[in-house]
Amino acid sequence: MTNQNPETAPSAPSNFIRQIAAEDMQTGKFGGRLMTRFPPEPNGYLHIGHAKSICLNFGLADEFKGLCNFRFDDTNPSKEDIEYVESIMEDVHWLGFDWADRLYYASDYFERIYEHAVQLIKAGKAYVCDLNADQIREYRGTLTQPGKESPFRNRSIDENLDLFRRMRDGEFEDGSRVLRAKIDMSSGNINMRDPVMYRIKKEDHHRTGDKWRIYPMYDYAHPLSDSYEGITHSICTIEYEDHRPLYDWFLDELGIHHPQQIEFARLNMSYTVLSKRRLLRLVNEGHVSGWNDPRMPTLAGMRRRGYTPAAIRNFCERIGVGKKESLVDIALLEYCVREDLNKKAPRVMAVLRPLKVVITNYPEGQEEFLDAINNPEDPAAGTRKVPFSKELYIERDDFMEAPPKQFFRLAPGREVRLRYAYFIKCESVVKDERGEIKEIHCTYDPATRGGDAPDGRKVKATLHWVSARHAVGSEVRLYDALFTKDNPNDSGEGKDFTSYLNPKSVETLDRCYLEPGLKDAEPGDGFQFERLGYFCVDTADSKPGRPVFNRTVTLKDEWAKLQKASSK
C-alpha cells in the first residue's frame, strides 16, 4: 500500500495497476525499476479519455520514482498529420505533465524494426505473402472456423529475404504483398492467425518523407518500441487484451526486453462521445466548429471552455482504474471543475439577460463606488470598487410580476438586496404597448449602503447587478451538453449518435452587460459571474475591449431545480 496513514494522506485510491506495480517493485521484477509510456497516434486531438491514460502513466511513474516516456505511434502515414502532433504535445503539457528529453517517435525505430523483421524471417518465423487483402480475409477463417494456411507460407528463407528487401525498395505495388508472422492459422485468437507485420504503402511519412515504402503494423511495431525504450509496464486499453499473446510472441521470438502489457477499461462519459472516429465526424460534418469547440470533450475544447488542468487531473483520480466497462456521470467532471474554480475564480457581476431598473429616489447623475469582495473563499484576493448609479440592469429571471411562493427574488412591492449595494423595493412596472415589461421602478434605502440594514430587517434574496452607465457590452455563450442521450453510442435501429445531438448545446447572448473591470480581461481568464456560473474569456473570438465569454459550467442552482421539479 502506498498510504499507510489515510488520515494524513487521504489521496490516491487503490487500483489493480498500482498494485501490480507495487508488487513488481517489491519483487524486483524489472530490477526494481518502473517505466511507462504514453503512446498516442497523431491522427486526432486528445480527449478526456486520453487524459485518464496520461494521468495513469505519468502518475504511476511519479509515484514509483520511475519515468514516463512520450512517444508518437506514427506507423500509418495515411492517417497522421503534423497538426495533430503539435496539438497533442501542447495538450499534454497543458494538463501538467512533462517528458523532459524523452520524446520519441515509433518512426525513429523503423530501421531497427526492419532489422528485427529480417531476423524473424531468418528464424523461419515470418514470410512474405502474395495474397491480396480479400484473399487474406478469406484465408483467415471466421470467429468459429479456423483459417487456412497461405500457399506462400512455406517459401524459402532466401526468397522471403529477397522479396522483403524488394518490398522495402518499392519494387511492388501497394497491397500486392505483405510480410506476415508465421504463427497458427487455427488459433482461437484471430490475432495469432499469421498477422500482417508490414504492408506496402508508397506514401510519404510526416517525419521520414519518402524513405520508406513499407510500414510496420501496430501489433508488430508497438512491442518492439516498448522494448527498445526499456518500458516495464505497457499500459493500454481493454480491446488490446486479445493482442497480448501476439505482443508477447514477438518479444519472445526475438529474445529482447519484455515489458508487461496491462489493460484497463477506457473512459466513457455520459452525454458525450469519446472516440476519435466520432469526434472526427463531428468536426468534418460541421456539427461543431472544430476540435477545440468548447462543447468538445477534447482537451483543446475543454481548455477553451475554461476547464482547468487541476480539475481534469482530479477527475481522473476520482474515477478510478478498472477493467469494467462503465459510463461515468459527467456530473462528476462538472463537480471537479466547480470545486477547483470555487477556490480560484475571482467573483464578478455580469447581467446576461438585462432588465432595466430605475432607482427613482436616487439622485440623477450621481455615482458612487462600492466595495466588493473578489473571492470569499480566498481573503488574499482582496476587494474592488464597483460603480453604482440611478439606472441599473438586473437579470430578467430575477424579477417576476406574479411570483410563486418559492420565488424569493424581486417582485412588485417586495424588497431585496443588491449585492454590496443597497436594499431596493419594487414600486412599479413599466410596460410597452405590447405588454412586455420594459423596465421596473424601485426605491432604495440609503441606510442600507453596503447591503446591511441598521434596523436588522432581512431580505430573502440578494441580486447581482450592473450600473447601466458604466457597463461593458459583451457576448456570452452558454454551453450545455452536446447530446441529449446519456449514451449516444447505443443508438437504435437505423440511427447513429448524431441523431442525439442537442440542438440547444449552445446559446449565444449578445446583449450582456459586465461590470467595468472586465473590459480588459485577457483571453483565457476565468471568473465566477456571481449567481450564474463560471465563465472564461474566449481565446479565439475576443477583441481588445470587447471580450467574448464562454460559460464553463453553471453554479449549482437550487431555484432551477425547484422549477424543473414543478414543471414535470
Partner RNA sequence: UGGGGCGUCGACAAGCGGAAAGUCAGCAGAUUUUGGAUCUGCCACUCCCAGGUUCGAAUCCUGGCGCCCCAGCCA
Binders of RNA in range 5-24 (CB under 7 A): 13-16, 19
User: What SS3 state is found at 423?
Assistant: strand
Angle value at C-alpha 92, between 524 and 291, nearest 5 degrees: 60
Q: Which of 168, 244, 276, 347 is catalytic?
A: 276
Judged by CB under 7 A, the chain residues 453 through 482 that form the site for RNA are 461-462
Q: Report the distance separating Cα 299 and Cα 315, nearest Å.
A: 13
Minimum CB–partner distance for residue 234 and RNA (Å) = 13
Binding range to RNA, per CB under 7 A, among 111-119, 135-143, 151-159, 353-361: 135-143
Binding of residue 531 to RNA (CB under 7 A):
yes
Q: Is 127 in the site for RNA (CB under 7 A)?
A: no
Burial classification of residue 365, based on how many CB atoms lie within 10 Å of its CB (0-12 exposed, 13-18 middle, 19 or more buried): exposed
CA-based nearest residue to 414, from 390, 440, 385: 440
Residues in contact with 158: Cβ distance below 8 Å, sequence separation at least 6, in sequence order: none
Q: Which of 18, 37, 41, 168 is catalytic?
A: 41
Provide the β-strand partners of residue 423. Answer: 417
Q: Which of 29, 102, 266, 356 is catalytic?
A: 266
> Active site includes 266?
yes
User: Is 276 an active-site residue?
Assistant: yes
Among 37, 52, 313, 419, binds RNA (CB under 7 A): 419
Q: Does 131 bind RNA (CB under 7 A)?
A: yes
Count of residues that interact with RNA, criterion CB under 7 A: 91
CA nearest neighbour of 236 among 218, 256, 257, 252: 218
For the bound state, the minimum distance from the C-beta of residue 517 to RNA, rounded and expressed in Å, comes to: 16
Helix (H) or strand (E) holding 304: helix 299-305
Please, what is the minimum distance in Å from the beta carbon of residue 49 to RNA? 13
What part of residues 306-325 is at the interface with RNA (CB under 7 A)? 318-325
Residues 477-506, interacting with RNA (CB under 7 A): none
Q: How far apart are alpha carbons 568 and 481 in whole angstroms?
A: 20
**555 lines the binding site for RNA (CB under 7 A):** yes
According to the binding rule CB under 7 A, does residue 144 interact with RNA?
yes
CB of 268: closest distance to RNA in angstroms?
7
Q: Which of 240/500 has CB closer to RNA?
A: 240
Least spacing, CB of residue 335 vs RNA, in Å: 4
Q: Which residues 234-293 are close enough to bind RNA by CB under 7 A?
A: 238-243, 265, 270
Residue with cell 498510504: 3
Contact with RNA (CB under 7 A) among 12, 82, 133, 447 = 133
- Say how far apart CA 158 and CA 156 lie, in whole Å: 5
In angstroms, what is the C-alpha Rg of the chain?
Answer: 31
Q: Is 447 among the residues that bind RNA (CB under 7 A)?
A: no
For RNA, which residue of 50, 313, 347, 551 counts as binding (CB under 7 A)? 347
Nearest alpha-carbon partner for 140 in 198, 193, 214, 66: 193
Q: Which listed residue (65, 93, 137, 396) binds RNA by CB under 7 A?
A: 137
Is 406 a binder of RNA (CB under 7 A)? Answer: yes
Residue 408 is a binding residue for RNA (CB under 7 A): yes
Does residue 184 touch RNA according to CB under 7 A? no
Q: Which positions ≥6 away from 543 have C-beta within 8 Å?
A: none
Of residues 76 and 232, the one with the C-beta less far from RNA: 76
Residue among 39 and 66 whose Cβ is closer to RNA: 39
Q: What are the DSSP calls for 155-177, one per residue?
A: --HHHHHHHHHHHHTT-S-TTS-
Answer for which of 451, 481, 491, 539 binds RNA (CB under 7 A) is: 451
DSSP string, 49-117: HHHHHHHHHHHHHHHTT-EEEEEE----TTT--HHHHHHHHHHHHHHT---TT-EEEGGGGHHHHHHHH
Stretch that binds RNA, among 56-64, 89-97, 251-259, 407-415 (CB under 7 A): 407-415
Coil, helix or strand at residue 439: strand
Q: CA 61, CA 64: separation in Å to the nearest integer? A: 5
What is the distance, to the nearest Å, from the Cα of residue 504 to the centroid of all Cα atoms in its chain? 20
The answer to whether residue 387 forms part of the interface with RNA (CB under 7 A) is: no
Q: How far is the CB of 156 from RNA (least distance, A)?
A: 21
Q: Say whether 372 sits in a helix, a strand or coil.
A: strand
Q: Count the residues in the chain.
A: 568
C-alpha closest to that of 59 among 333, 303, 312: 312
Binds RNA by CB under 7 A, chosen from 102, 140, 165, 287: 140
Residue among 24, 41, 229, 538 that touches RNA (CB under 7 A) = 41
Measured from the CB atom, the residue of 184 and 391 that comes closer to RNA is 184
Residue among 565, 566, 567, 568 that touches RNA (CB under 7 A): 565
Decide if 299 contacts 94 (C-beta within 8 A): yes
Selected binder of RNA within 171, 377, 507, 522 (CB under 7 A): 377
Write out the binding residues for RNA, residues 195-234 only, by CB under 7 A.
195-196, 199-201, 215, 217-219, 222
Quote the CA–CA distance of 283 and 281 in Å, as a whole number: 5
* Binds RNA by CB under 7 A, chosen from 124, 188, 446, 524: 188
Member of 331, 430, 447, 540 binding RNA (CB under 7 A)? 331
* 321 vs 79: CA distance, rounded Å: 29
What positions carry a catalytic annotation? 41, 266, 276
